[in-house]
Amino acid sequence: MAIRNWFREMRPTSAHGLRMLIPTVIIVVVAMVVIWRFVEPAPPHRVVIAAGMVGGDYDYFAHRYAKYFKDNGFDLVVKPTAGSVENWKLLMDRNSGVDLALVQGGTAPENAGDELEAVCSVYLEPLWVFYRDESSIGRLSELAGKRIAIGPEGSGVRSLATKLLEANGIDVKSPGSTHLLDATGQEAVAMLKANQLDALMLVVGPKNPIIKDLVHAPGIHLMSFGQADAYARRFPFLSRLTLYEGMLDLGQDVPAQDIELIAPAATLVARASAHQGTIELLIRAAKSVHARSNPLADAGRFPSPNLTDLPVSKDAEYYLRTPPSRLLGGLPFWAKSLIDRLLLLMIPLIALLFPLLRFLPVVFRWSVRSRIVRYYSRLHKVEAHLVQDAPSDALRQDLEDLQALAKRLAAMSVPAGYMPDLYDLRMNLERLCQRLHAHLQR
């Protein structure tokens, strides 16, 4: 009702009313332009993610994220790399063009937190240790003096392997009789089968073809970590995992007994300056890919704010715990992003409009009344001439002025609520004209 009364009162019944509304519209438009400059710009249409070696798990999942981005109108460019260590370097290099990266837990450089933030952990990737030996091996310290493939420089598995070997008393810088080789992937598998290696360390998912190949290879065994709990306590980025009997192959009962593994978490990392819309879309993509159950995690465990080397960004924490809006859930991401930005614009704009809408009617009323009241000063001046018995010529000029004023008042248009004031002015003007005319007739 109040709003309807406001519009009824402010309705431009004349050019004056229109002149009152035009400045208001200008103020609102200027305010929108100014506020819009402070609203965060739209998410960048193109972002780059550092993944890993072509054909690896990071490369596979990064391309699945890219498809989700494309379905929502954005481009996620997947950059192949040597692995986690190189990904950190690319992210920390402002000129690399890389905005996001998939990294392995436990591989973050010391100064990474200055410019980077974690988005979420997305899945567990076990450390697999396959070895050739007649006797069972349950500790990494038992690999001393053997030939071990730990992956190439720049890879996450090499970074993790060196940390764990050093924790077991094997000096990776001066290994002595222990031989550390850069071999990885199918090359390392072939070397292990050919007895050119004694052990192979790799970090991949349980569905990787390499795992299926090695668990069925004769003479090759999978190490069960006898100190899995100790590793998880000593290295916060590691989790203990149990690979249950038959999990890899029920028909052939592989493994033949429960195997204890340790696993870092694959983590999404972004620059601290990353757009919050990019972070939201990345978390959406991660949820669509990783939220289901898998052999190593229950449904809903990932993506997670836990098991990250760096603190999780505030934007990521919000989007991880907040489900998508049901009202806007069916919209494309670009449309939702635009609506979110418009809502951010409307909040300060509404804060400006409320006092403006309350103040404008006051100004309008004062403006209309002032148009009427200002003529009383002229009437008062003429009445003073009449009381002072001014010369006849002056009084005749006053009468002509009042008659001209009466014509202007007859053509004046004001809102209906102010018509009584206008009629009062006309009546007072007419009475004064009658008095002047009578005085001049004497």
pLDDT in tens, 368-421: 777 777 888 888 888 888 888 788 888 888 888 888 888 888 888 777 777 888
Instruction: Calculate mean pLDDT across residues 314-335.
Output: 72
3 state SS of 303: coil
Check if the beta carbon of residue 243 is closer than 8 Å to that of residue 229: no
Nearest to 192 by CA among 127, 130, 261, 126: 130
Q: Domain for residue 378, yes or no?
A: yes
Angle, vertex CA 48, rays to CA 283 and CA 279, nearest 5: 25
Quote the pLDDT of residue 227. Answer: 95
Quote the pLDDT of residue 367. Answer: 73
Q: Domain for residue 253, yes or no?
A: no
pLDDT above 90: residue 43: no
Name the domain count of the chain. Answer: 1
Check if the beta carbon of residue 23 is closer than 8 Å to that of residue 52: no
- Tell me which of 378 and 104 has the higher pLDDT: 104
pLDDT above 90: residue 213: yes
Task: Count other Cβ atoms within 10 Å, centred on residue 48.
Answer: 17
Domain range for 425: 2-33+342-441
- Tell me which of 385 and 120 has the higher pLDDT: 120
Quote the pLDDT of residue 65. Answer: 97
3 state SS of 269: strand
Quote the pLDDT of residue 368. Answer: 72
Per-residue tokens: 10: 């402010």
pLDDT above 50: residue 1: no
Check if the beta carbon of residue 218 is closer than 8 Å to that of residue 167: no
pLDDT digits (tens, 9 = 90+) for 15-33: 555 555 666 667 666 666 6
pLDDT tier, 299 (very low <50, low <70, confident <90, very high otherwise) = confident
Q: Domain for residue 171, yes or no?
A: no
Q: Domain for residue 251, yes or no?
A: no
Quote the pLDDT of residue 328. Answer: 47
With 0.95 as the threshold, say if the pTM is over it: no
pLDDT digits (tens, 9 = 90+) for 238-269: 999 999 999 999 999 999 999 999 999 999 99
pLDDT above 80: residue 67: yes
Q: Domain for residue 353, yes or no?
A: yes
pLDDT tier, 364 (very low <50, low <70, confident <90, very high otherwise) = low
pLDDT tier, 432 (very low <50, low <70, confident <90, very high otherwise) = confident
pLDDT tier, 125 (very low <50, low <70, confident <90, very high otherwise) = very high
Check if the beta carbon of residue 202 is closer than 8 Å to that of residue 210: yes
Instruction: Calculate mean pLDDT across residues 116-131.
Output: 95
Check if the beta carbon of residue 301 is closer than 8 Å to that of residue 295: no
Diameter of the chain by CA atoms?
142
**Segment holding 421, helix H or strand E:** helix 419-441
Quote the pLDDT of residue 2. Answer: 43
Q: Domain for residue 372, yes or no?
A: yes
Instruction: Calculate mean pLDDT across residues 187-208.
Output: 92
Q: Domain for residue 142, yes or no?
A: no
Q: pLDDT above 70 covers what percent of the chain? A: 80
Q: Which are the contacts of 195, defined by CB distance < 8 A and separation ≥ 6?
A: 132
Task: Tell me the sheet residues that pair with 121.
Answer: 267, 304
pLDDT tier, 322 (very low <50, low <70, confident <90, very high otherwise) = confident
HSE, CB side, 13 Å, CA atoms: give it for residue 346: 6
pLDDT above 70: residue 338: no
Among 63-72, 159-168, 302-311, 347-356, the range scoring the smallest mean pLDDT is 347-356
Average predicted confidence (pLDDT) for the chain: 84
Q: Domain for residue 222, yes or no?
A: no
Quote the pLDDT of residue 117. Answer: 96
